[in-house]
Amino acid sequence: MDLDLSESERAFRDEARAWLAANVPAEPLPSMDTEEGWRLHQEWEAMLAEARWAVVSWPEEYHGRGASLVEWVLFEEEYYRAGAPGRVSQNGIFLLSPILFGYGTQEQQDRFLPSMATGEQIWAQCWSEPEAGSDLASLKSTATRDDERGGWVLNGQKTWSSRATYAHWGFGLFRSDPEAQRHAGLTYFLFPLDADGVTVRPIAQLDGEAGFAEVFLDDVFVPDADVLGGVGDGWRVAMSTAGNERGLSLRSPGRFCAAADRLVALYRERPDARAADGVVDAWLRAHAYRLYTWGTVTRLADGGEMGAAGSVNKVFWSELDIALHETALDLLGPESELESTWLDGYTFSLSGPIYAGTNEVQRNIVAERILGLPREPKGAGR
Amino acid sequence: MKFVLDDDHRAFASSLDSLLASADTVAVARAWADGEHEPGLRLWQRLAEQGVTALADEPVFLVVAFERLGYHAVPGPWVESVAYLGREDGIGTVAVPPHVPYALDADVTDRDDVGSRHRSVDRTRRLFEVSGEDEPDDEAFDRAVLAVSAQLLGLGERVLDDSVAYVKQRKQFGRQIGSYQAIKHALADVRIALDFARPLVLGAALEEVPASAAKVAAGDAAYRAARTGLQVHGAIGYTAEFDLSLWLTKIRALVTAWGTPAVHRARLLESLVDGGVR
């Protein structure tokens, strides 16, 4: 048992640190959910890809470095410590790419992965529907077979689609077998957001910016080549995405450790004994998360699986993120309501317990799949 | 980079577990609380033969052993004798004012300065005034803090295990109470708190984080386990006769033993603001 890095891991970390120090923009970029901010974030992604830092864990042929899990975590630590921009390509590189690597055809991988890595094509996730939130399997959007054209015709409405306002492609689940119930008969589709029949309507979020959108699909044709995984197998395929989103990949410990360090720095500038416990607890929990992640990385490297532990993870980091930012606002006192990066971080943190499976759903998963508690009796509350 | 217990650690834990599971530690603890030390002293001897008293210089093994001591609610001045004093033979105890004002179980040690006794919320913790001055030792103090943290982790894990077993078996309104979300979510939060306290305890053993970080996190997680465990058991959990009481009262005592949460948070804050902690 040890936390030591190998020589090559240290070299990798040092190389990342040096590149980031030389290239991270001195001033934070404007919000990626504005037109100018979007363009600048896309340019940043292109720069990362050019230097092969965009997708370090991917194979070299797709702009990666074939980095190990340990190296990926190290890169993320350096990335957030350097204060580098948020990843506008996040939906694609963190959520969709594991599915493309796992279930996509060679042709799909070759067609989609390179432009995803360079940020040329940005992906939006199209999961929720107006009547299907936590109960995602009750979704109603349909896919109807079109043998003549060799594909499917999509109809329905998706909502809370992150990045859909400016993104180029969407991915999501549609009911391809109207006779099948719930988890059965769903298929995973990829579709361009500028296809005929697609209407994207931006939704202003709590901070006023259009970070997500509604997506209306009206007889949208999708060729067979853009079905991901097997027809009718969409639930299984999608759940492996959700596992990634909840689990290790989306919230690397680096971001919380970097935020905790900034919180300690803020406390040094504006010490306030009343907020001291919050500062200590934020630091403590960020480092608990870092060390916990090294444990997860060790188990995954030994061939273990994330499984329901992703739900333990998600509840913890989402609540830590809010508490950390609340403490920062406490320290800022009456000025906390003024626009600032702390306020932006706080507002964003509020979405954590909601997206990627609400924390209530996660706690059910922890209770049922880890503690082995009985499921709710069928029909209760329905 | 390998942040999981090695095979040796796991084998040690499981050998201690099989010893303790067949030792009726509940009866040992109840006798100890009544001042009948014989069964507890015999158990001390058996654990010493397994090497538990020789772990002061092996922090990861120390953590592994103390988690098992907590899990089985083993009574006695283990933290004081093994972690603080580093005694391999015999049994010692110590008072380190202001954080440790009384000497635990001084009447079973070779101390000759034992004064009057105080009753703890944990009846198995027999606290004594001692007149002699013990030399404060910061390194030993941190080792004791680490050991208590591991003990708290084990105590919390046991309360969670027993609570999960209970809510699967107890029925009300025609259903197992463990099928209600109010119960599920409370127990899930205990699981999460313990899962994130453990890496800080192990991290402190590797000197990656201060021992205070381990104590705050393990104390919070175990205390959450105790509060939740009592609540899901209902009135039966509130009785002295039901064995859960041994764990609930020990957790309450250990949360403030060897430095209260406030003391350890203050230590952490000081090192953070001075930049001494990464």
Residues from chain B that touch A285, judged by Cβ atoms under 8 A, are: 196
Can you give chain A as a three-state secondary structure string?
Answer: CECCCCHHHHHHHHHHHHHHHHHCCCCCCCCCCCHHHHHHHHHHHHHHHHCCCCCCCCCHHHCCCCCCHHHHHHHHHHHHHCCCCCCCCHHHHHHHHHHHHHHCCHHHHHHHHHHHHHCCCCEEEECCECCECCCHHHCCCEEEEECCCCEEEEEEEEEEEECCCCCCEEEEEEECCCCCCCCCCEEEEEEECCCCCEEEEEECCCCCCCCEEEEEEEEEEEEHHHEECCCCEHHHHHHHHHHHHHCCCCCCHHHHHHHHHHHHHHHHHCCCHHHHHHHHHHHHHHHHHHHHHHHHHHHHHCCCCCCCHHHHHHHHHHHHHHHHHHHHHHHHHHHHHCCCHHHHHHHHHCCCCCCCCCHHHHHHHHHHHHCCCCCCCCCCCC
Residue A62 has what pLDDT?
96
- Residue range A118-136: mean pLDDT, rounded: 95
ipTM score here? 0.96
Mean pLDDT value of segment A12-37 = 96
Judge: A373–B265 Cβ closer than 8 Å, yes or no.
no
Using CA coordinates, name the residue in chain B closest to A271: B273
pTM for the whole thing? 0.95
Task: Kindly tell me if the per-residue pLDDT of A241 is higher than 70.
Answer: no
**Distance from C-alpha of B75 to C-alpha of B146, rounded to nearest angstrom:** 18
pLDDT per residue over A156-180, tens digit each? 999 999 999 999 999 999 999 999 9
Each residue's pLDDT tens digit, B7-29:
999 999 999 999 999 999 999 99
pLDDT tier at B182, thresholds 50, 70, 90: very high
pLDDT tens digit string along A31-77? 999 999 999 999 999 999 999 999 999 999 999 999 998 999 999 99
- Could you report the per-residue pLDDT of A289-306, keeping only the tens digit for each? 999 999 999 988 888 888
Query: Can you tell me the distance from the alpha carbon of B176 to that of A362, in angstroms, rounded to the nearest whole number?
Result: 21
Interchain CB contact of B175 with A (< 8 Å): yes
- Range 109-138 of B in CB contact (< 8 A) with A: none
Average pLDDT over chain B, rounded to an integer: 96
Section A102-119 average pLDDT: 97
- Rounded average pLDDT over A336-355: 95
Q: Which two tokens stand for residue A190?
A: 């990829």
Given a cut of 50, is residue B278 above it in pLDDT? no
Share the mean pLDDT of chain A.
93
pLDDT in tens, B94-144: 999 999 999 999 999 999 999 999 999 999 999 999 998 778 899 999 999
Classify B119 as helix, strand or coil. Answer: strand
Q: In this model, does residue A87 exceed pLDDT 90?
A: yes
Q: How far is CA A343 from CA A143, A253, A274, A309, in A?
A: 41, 20, 20, 30
* A245 counts as catalytic: yes
Region at A284 (left for phi over 0; alpha for psi -120 to 50; beta for the rest): alpha
Report percent pLDDT > 90 for chain B. Answer: 96
User: What are A209-229's pLDDT values in tens digits?
Assistant: 888 999 999 999 999 999 999
Q: Which among B179, B191, B277 has CB closest to A312? A: B191
- Lowest-confidence pick of A237-241, A258-262, A355-359, B81-85: A237-241
| pLDDT(A245) > 80 | no
Asked whether the beta carbons of residue B268 and residue A283 sit closer than 8 angstroms, the reply is: yes
**Which candidate in A245, A335, A360, A376 is catalytic?**
A245
- The beta-carbon neighbor of A367 closest among B185, B197, B272 is B185
Percent of chain A clearing pLDDT 70 (strictly above): 96
DSSP state of B161: H
Q: What is the pLDDT of residue B171?
A: 97
* The pLDDT value given to residue A382: 44
